[in-house]
Amino acid sequence: MPHRERYLFVCENRREESNPKGSCAQKGSEEVLKRLKEALVKRGAHKRVRACGAGCLDLCEIGAAILQEPDHVAYGKVSLDDVDELADCVVDGRVCERLVVFPEKAP
Ligand code: FES
């Protein structure tokens, strides 16, 4: 299987409930990943764009966090309500600006 045009790395890290740092899995990232995969299939784009689970991206406080490559942007506070818009953007080869927390380059 060749490299995809784009990747969405969805943090699925889960910490214990008592951990003050929190984690993306506690904020619904596992379901976000599942729905993203479904959204890519629905758009016929799953062979061009891959959504996959990742470990901690060190964006825990603003999870659920996703890294989009090769655009090298990070999304934060992603919820199920954002899945369709995010899938539309990445399938079109765009960045979903509304969700960006860390752009590729500092302004
Ligand atoms: S737990 Fe998701 S970025 Fe750290």
Closest-lying ligand 1 atom to the alpha carbon of residue 13? 1
Residue 80 lies in a domain: yes
Residue 25 lies in a domain: yes
List of residues 6+ apart from 5 with CB closer than 8 A = 48, 49, 93
Residue 107 lies in a domain: no
Question: Into how many domains does the chain fold?
Answer: 1
Residue 1 lies in a domain: no
Host domain of residue 35: 6-102
Cis peptide before 64 (omega within 30 of 0): yes
Residue 64 lies in a domain: yes
CATH of the domain at 48: 3.40.30.10
Closest-lying ligand 1 atom to the alpha carbon of residue 57? 3
* pLDDT tens digits, 20-50: 889 999 999 999 999 999 999 999 999 999 9
Sheet with strand 73-75: strands edge to edge? 49-54, 6-11, 66-69, 73-75, 100-102
Indicate if ligand 1 lies below 6 Å from the C-beta of 32: no
Report field, pTM of the whole predicted structure over 0.85: yes
